[in-house]
Structure 1
């Protein structure tokens, strides 16, 4: 797989936190080598304030951030994806649309920070932990020698990334 830029779609049922966080991280970490997108099977109306506050506080542009349906990426005019990663267990279990281009897929599930209960500090900590886990996985991914790996080796690598726990701070 040799390209100048790889398209990556992150999926989560609501497309409100995890997938949007992953999109922001990859677009920053990927430095032009990757173009990230995010979507959901049942998108909400908008990302929750904690998602946007976290990203903005970590110097990510949030102008892109909106909840959108994965249908936007399954039609004939959609960008062809090279990779599709589910970041929630619900999306991983759902029947996904056909993705043009036969992208490589993997499951990189992380806990849903939106479901965190407790004080506002506890909720912010859940979002920060989600960010940390996704950033760790994405950092490994962007450093893979994609152009030199055959499809089976690349698949093993992206599967392994999704199973690896994020290192502790």
Structure 2
């Protein structure tokens, strides 16, 4: 593995297992849409928002130049770029 990215805030505080290949790790905290207990519309919106946030992160990540992929600062850069983007919808 080259990268291990957690998205659940519960996982962020846990000890990670030892991954083969010494991957770069990062945490991209996304609210758990399954925790939404409101109406069907609110649940759908929660899942759509989580999807949009993950899509934004992944788009930034895959657009980075190959020479930057695999460094710890890279993961921090992706996280910072996401936080600077205006929220979708």
Q: TM-score normalized by structure 1? A: 0.47
Which blocks of at least 5 consecutive residues in structure 1 are unaligned?
Answer: 1-80
Measured after TM superposition, the shift of residue 150 of structure 1 is 7.4
Measured after TM superposition, the shift of residue 155 of structure 1 is 1.6
Which residue is 1:83 aligned to? Answer: 3
User: Which stretch of structure 1 is more off in the superposition, 158-167 or 120-129?
Assistant: 158-167
Which blocks of at least 5 consecutive residues in structure 2 are unaligned?
Answer: none
Asked if structure 1 preserves the Cα contact closer than 8 Å seen for 2:26 and 2:75, the reply is: yes
CA deviations over 1:59-111 (Å, ceiling 9, x no partner) = xxxxxxxxxxxxxxxxxxxxxx1000010111111111110100000111110
Measured after TM superposition, the shift of residue 157 of structure 1 is 2.2
Aligned residues: 86
The structure carrying a bigger helix percent of its residues is 2
Distance 2:77 2:37 in 1: 30
Which of residues 149, 155, 165 is equivalent to 2:72? 155
Asked if structure 2 preserves the Cα contact closer than 8 Å seen for 1:88 and 1:110, the reply is: yes
Q: TM-score normalized by structure 2? A: 0.85
